[in-house]
A and B are shown apart, each in its own frame.
Chain A
Amino acid sequence: MALITVNALAEGMVLANDLHAPNGRMILARGAVVRSAHVRMLKVWGVSEVDVEKGGEEITLPEEFALNEEELRRRSDEIVDSYFPPAAYGDDCMRELRRLCVLRTARKLKEGISLPELPERGDRPPQMPLRDGLPLEPISPYTLVRNEVRLVSYPDIYFKIKEVLESPVSSAAHIGEVVSKDPSLSARLLRLVNSSFYGFPTPIESIPRAIAIIGVNELTTLALAVSTINFFRHVPERYVDMRSFWEHSLACGVFSRILAYAKRKPSEERYFLAGLLHDIGRLVLYRKMPELMTFALRLAVYARIPLFRIEKRLFGFDHAHLGQLLLREWRIPETIGHLVGDHHDPFACEHPEDAAVIHAADVFALALRMGTSGSWFVPMLEKEAWKTLALSPASLESLLVQGERQMQETMNIFFPQREAGV
């Protein structure tokens, strides 16, 4: 039994296993004899490797991690349990997610890669600050948003991109023109387009070509996303590590897009944008209510409660709702606003299957420890959500693998290592 590339296939070889296309379609059964005519079709379907019974040059698989090493296994379990909800054992999908995280953790430990550590649990935070730092009147999210001057003054290019996005008759020429005016935007966009984000087989050298291949609407949304990151990455924050914040946001964006594509949603870039912006409301909270947020952060760590629940209790609203209002101020289309607004409570809205994508992506991002916006614990993803997304334990692994790969490349594009610690 050997894996060979499609190009190495020859007439007469026998399949050692059922052969499926990447989209799941069954092509040939185990024991089928390969004909040269099949090779063309295998390429059409996107099959890259075939398992045949004998002959051919072998491809070595990455070594599967050996879990016989007890100590490593125990430590990985411990680490994962520190941030995974105990209820995860009760749900098939959560259990599988946890298992994959354990494997990943163990691999990283073996490779000597440092893992993010949970903040010190510390003592129980003192009673909620009553007088200092607390406004005399209840806090209105609308006021918060409107007063956030810094966040409101977006650059001209952002506005122009939005215009292109909103017109149904915008063409490649329009967006090409807008984007080309900002070289750093164009550069980042091109790198993104050439990454595993799209996995296009041949290099894409220009924005017009990118638009031709990817699509006008798609690229415009991406441009909006990139310009948003560009704009915010330099915003310094005292209370949160911005790099970590953006890493988490990107991870959520990447996974949202992967999930949306898997569910054949028509505009997966929109989900990328929504995932990217899903926690933007928190930036406002940190900026405007620092003492309360500090308290909230400490309480979250101490009591192992998801941060958004504490937000809700403290302020009466959470960062998701705040984020939606902010996006409205920025006049970002309501479709994206809703995705952000409902990402913690997808079943409260009209189209749960849409917001559930962001919700699940958030969970994946946290499970894989790709940065944080303040919350350290993985929320429980309920059975209903898994069902709405039609996700089964078996489908998780490939999703996570795709996400990891894309994250690596994307982080490099936006937050190259040398800029760490900004």
Chain B
Amino acid sequence: MTDDTVRDSPEETIRELREQLRRVSEQATSLEEQVRSLQQERRTTLRILDAALSSGGPLLPVDKALDPAAVLHEASQKVRSFVRLGAVSFHLVSSDGLDMTCTYCDPGDTLPFLERELQFLIDDGTVAWSIDRNKPVIVTSSEGEQPLLLHTMMTPNHRTVGLLFGVLGEDPAGIPDIARAFLTVVCNATASQLQDAELYGLAESLNRTKDLFLANMSHEIRTPLNGILGMAELLDDTLLDAEQRAMVETVRGEAISLLGLLNDLLDISKIEAGRMELEEAAFDFRGFLRELVRSTSSLAKAKGLAFRVLADPFLPERLLGDRLRLAQVLRNLLGNALKFTERGEISLEVSLESPAAVPGGNGHSPRLDFAVRDTGIGISEENRKHLFEAFVQADASTARRYGGTGLGLAISRKLVELMGGEIRVESRVGQGSVFSVSLPLRVPGPSSALPPERKGETAAEREEAEAWAASVPPLFHGEGRLLLVVDDNATNRVVLQGLLRKLGCGSVAAEDGPGALRALSEKAFDAVLLDMRMPGMDGTEVVRRLRDPTSPAHLRRLPVIAVTAQAMKGDRERHLALGIDDYLVKPVSSRDLGESLRRVFAPERLFGGDGTSPRRDTTNGEGLSVQSGDAGVGALQGTDAVENAPDPESFDPEILLARVEGDGALAEQVIRVFLGDTDRFRIALGEAAASGEPAALHALVHAIRGSAANVAAGRVERLSARIEETHFLTKQEFRESAIWQLEEELARAAEAMRRFLDRMSGQGWRREQKEG
């Protein structure tokens, strides 16, 4: 309206205003209505969602053979939560699709009515129409009174397993769309469940059949075999001549072989049928190992092979698992090692791997590792590929020569996998193989098997560890090496010396720098454990003096292991620059110390059966370990108690005795001569090293070799042979290292011999006396 419009009369204005008011209030009313209907809608939606979701989560889980009736009852409950039903029934189709029966009806007395009505709907084609249509269909009953609900039950892969058929208890026109959708969901889920239950039942019966078959087969074959064995035993007890007895032995042997084969076959069948179950029981692990070691030892000895066992001092006393199957695996590996090794040694390593030790371990559970090494014929890369497969053996000739079913490793692998572990092989043809098994460590009871590494040991733990160490040697064995422990703190000294003792090393303690230098000048040590922070002359100064060629304390090649309070960045480099070989961080654990010692001394795993080294990267590539440190001159003398584990590689009394045909006195004499020679040899070696003359050195080494052979000092002999044969002496950088090692070995052999003599004289032993 513009300004110059004629002004209306008051009545007109009022009329207009009232008109506007009316329009506005109409709009308001209509908006109110809309709001109300939206609110109503919201309430209904929530109600249905609530009902559908709160009537339980997913339907019954199928982890065992389910009763279809239970599934259907659940389903009917769910459906009733969002659609009112006067009656509900489920009709299931048989698996061959040729029959449909009512499997559930609630309430039961409505069944006749429902069956009748359903038949009408079948006849007029309504059921056929809705059977593939995955939606609810609402029709009227035959007399036109009641609304009936039909819904197919279809699995996700569109297989119809049945029908839901019921009587609606509410006006179909009022059923919200969302309720219809939920109905479809429930029917689909129920169909799926029923299908699962059916399949589960089938699977179960299949498993039962497998088990029955395996059990029967086992019985049927074992019975006659046992009969054969039994008969052979009886025959053996009767009067037989040598030829006949030999025949009986053969029969026995074959029968036992056959039994072994049968067991293998049954095992592999069981495993492949998925019917192998491992036991879960606590067993005495240490006893288990002891037994294993004992039986393998005797077998090894019978074949003239060395058998070495290295075990972590912190192995648990008890394990949780299947003792029998673990034994099976280890015996298989050890048996193979024995079978395929003609000379040299086999060894078993048992160790623990804590999460901290595994780089990037990020919280894996601790593991129990076994490694079976041998110096046998090895396995080619080609054969390694199929090694763990059933019925495969390396090649035809191997199979013929070594026999076996070809199942052992396959079974071992499957068993290890069932235990949650893994099995690996490394090998080099002609040098030997290593089979490693890594299992998750499982111990019975709430306490963990691995003691926290940073706690000080309690007396009980130490005792236990010692007792354990007494029966099985620890992972690193010092083999009587002597170390100097330098620390101003008395407790630290005691701890370090204790650890060293456990690791098979002897030790002498010094309180300060000057004391250390004095001790070093008086005795020949194998290494020094040096605390870096001491009042007065500290560790750094000690090392400086040790490494300074002009200093009287110069011991160029004495390994020095620094012990520091904390590891800082750049520490390692600084230490190395000083001339320190390795360092440890306090508090020092047995494991850390063992590792360090091993690094420093580098295991003398140099020579396998034929004199070549299978592995170890601390070698210089030619099989000799490159060392720093001074061997020191002079005989090895340990004043502290030393772990006296006999080391036949260094010196084997049995062989010597065999050589002298049991003459103890002669053996003693030979030893004493050798001991006298050793001192001379070591001095001569030192001089030859200094002069650098190849010819002299060569002759010397040759002489050493001969003596060592006579006295059964195995390693000395082998080492000198190697040096002699492979021109180590011609290369400057290897010469020194070779000489040092030879000195080492001589010292060790001498010590071993001395201990032997002590032992024998202590027992007043004279063999000739016994047999005299």
Chain A residues close to B by CB (< 8 Å):
22-23, 25-28, 37-38, 40-41, 43-47, 167-173, 176, 199-202, 208-209, 211-213, 215-218, 264, 266
| The 8 nearest A-B residue pairs measured at CB | A46-B128, A201-B125, A212-B138, A169-B176, A172-B173, A173-B173, A168-B178, A169-B44
In the complex, the answer to whether A171 meets B129 with C-beta atoms within 8 Å is no
CB-CB nearest in chain B for A164: B177
Q: Does B535 contact A (CB under 8 A)?
A: no
CB-CB nearest in chain B for A28: B98
**A215 and B98 in contact, given A44-B122, A45-B131 (Cβ under 8 angstroms):** no
Q: Does B672 contact A (CB under 8 A)?
A: no
A residues within 8 A CB of B100? 40-41, 44
CA distance A306 to B143 in the complex (A): 57
Q: Does B123 contact A (CB under 8 A)?
A: yes
20 CB-based A-B contacts, threshold 8 Å: A25-B97, A41-B97, A41-B100, A44-B127, A46-B129, A47-B128, A167-B41, A167-B177, A168-B45, A169-B44, A169-B177, A171-B176, A173-B174, A176-B173, A201-B124, A201-B129, A212-B137, A212-B172, A217-B177, A264-B134
In the complex, the answer to whether A43 meets B127 with C-beta atoms within 8 Å is yes
B residues within 8 A CB of A45? 97, 128, 131
In the complex, the answer to whether B173 meets A264 with C-beta atoms within 8 Å is no
In the complex, the answer to whether A200 meets B172 with C-beta atoms within 8 Å is no
B126: contacting residue among A40, A169, A173, A202, CB under 8 A:
A202
Q: Does B48 contact A (CB under 8 A)?
A: yes
Q: Does B147 contact A (CB under 8 A)?
A: yes
In the complex, the answer to whether B147 meets A170 with C-beta atoms within 8 Å is no
CB distance from A231 to the nearest CB of B (A): 25
CA distance A208 to B138 in the complex (A): 10
Chain B residues close to A by CB (< 8 Å):
41, 44-45, 48, 93, 97-100, 119, 122-129, 131-132, 134-140, 147, 158-160, 171-178, 180
In the complex, the answer to whether A172 meets B174 with C-beta atoms within 8 Å is yes
A44: contacting residue among B128, B134, B137, CB under 8 A:
B128
In the complex, the answer to whether A201 meets B132 with C-beta atoms within 8 Å is no
CB distance from B596 to the nearest CB of A (A): 61
CB distance from B84 to the nearest CB of A (A): 13
CB distance from B214 to the nearest CB of A (A): 35
In the complex, the answer to whether A216 meets B122 with C-beta atoms within 8 Å is no
CA distance A283 to B176 in the complex (A): 37
B residues within 8 A CB of A168? 45, 176-178
B residues within 8 A CB of A22? 128, 132
In the complex, the answer to whether A41 meets B99 with C-beta atoms within 8 Å is yes
CB-CB nearest in chain B for A47: B128
In the complex, the answer to whether B135 meets A215 with C-beta atoms within 8 Å is yes
A46: contacting residue among B45, B125, B134, B177, CB under 8 A:
B125
B residues within 8 A CB of A200? 126, 129
In the complex, the answer to whether B132 meets A38 with C-beta atoms within 8 Å is no
**A169 and B178 in contact, given A43-B122, A44-B127 (Cβ under 8 angstroms):** yes
A residues within 8 A CB of B48? 169
CB distance from A319 to the nearest CB of B (A): 33
**A212 and B125 in contact, given A44-B131, A168-B178, A171-B174 (Cβ under 8 angstroms):** no
CA distance A168 to B126 in the complex (A): 27
In the complex, the answer to whether B177 meets A171 with C-beta atoms within 8 Å is yes
B173: contacting residue among A38, A167, A171, CB under 8 A:
A171
In the complex, the answer to whether B172 meets A172 with C-beta atoms within 8 Å is yes
CA distance A23 to B129 in the complex (A): 11
In the complex, the answer to whether B97 meets A208 with C-beta atoms within 8 Å is no
In the complex, the answer to whether B44 meets A202 with C-beta atoms within 8 Å is no
CB distance from B574 to the nearest CB of A (A): 61
**A202 and B124 in contact, given A170-B176, A212-B138 (Cβ under 8 angstroms):** yes
B residues within 8 A CB of A37? 98-99
CB distance from A23 to the nearest CB of B (A): 5
B125: contacting residue among A23, A43, A176, A266, CB under 8 A:
A43
In the complex, the answer to whether A46 meets B175 with C-beta atoms within 8 Å is no
A residues within 8 A CB of B173? 171-173, 176, 208, 211-212
CB distance from B546 to the nearest CB of A (A): 75
B residues within 8 A CB of A217? 177, 180
CA distance A390 to B145 in the complex (A): 44
CA distance A120 to B745 in the complex (A): 108
CA distance A44 to B131 in the complex (A): 7
CB distance from B179 to the nearest CB of A (A): 8
CA distance A200 to B131 in the complex (A): 12
Q: Which of B126, B137, B172 has the most CB of A within 10 A?
A: B172
In the complex, the answer to whether A213 meets B98 with C-beta atoms within 8 Å is no
CA distance A27 to B160 in the complex (A): 13
B residues within 8 A CB of A218? 135
CA distance A56 to B171 in the complex (A): 45
CA distance A202 to B136 in the complex (A): 17
CB distance from B122 to the nearest CB of A (A): 5
In the complex, the answer to whether A38 meets B98 with C-beta atoms within 8 Å is yes
A residues within 8 A CB of B122? 40, 43-44
CA distance A216 to B137 in the complex (A): 11
CA distance A167 to B147 in the complex (A): 24
CB-CB nearest in chain B for A32: B98
CB-CB nearest in chain A for B42: A169
In the complex, the answer to whether A43 meets B97 with C-beta atoms within 8 Å is no
A residues within 8 A CB of B140? 209
B177: contacting residue among A27, A44, A216, CB under 8 A:
A216
CA distance A173 to B97 in the complex (A): 38
A residues within 8 A CB of B147? 212
B residues within 8 A CB of A215? 135-136, 180
CA distance A199 to B124 in the complex (A): 12
Q: A23-B158, A27-B98, A28-B98 are in contact. List 15 more A-B contacts (CB 8 A).
A: A27-B97, A40-B119, A44-B93, A44-B128, A45-B97, A46-B128, A46-B131, A46-B132, A168-B176, A168-B177, A168-B178, A171-B173, A200-B129, A216-B177, A216-B180
A residues within 8 A CB of B127? 43-44
B residues within 8 A CB of A208? 172-173
CB-CB nearest in chain A for B138: A212
B residues within 8 A CB of A171? 173-177
CB-CB nearest in chain B for A211: B173
CA distance A254 to B132 in the complex (A): 19
CA distance A212 to B176 in the complex (A): 12
CB-CB nearest in chain A for B43: A169
In the complex, the answer to whether A213 meets B97 with C-beta atoms within 8 Å is no
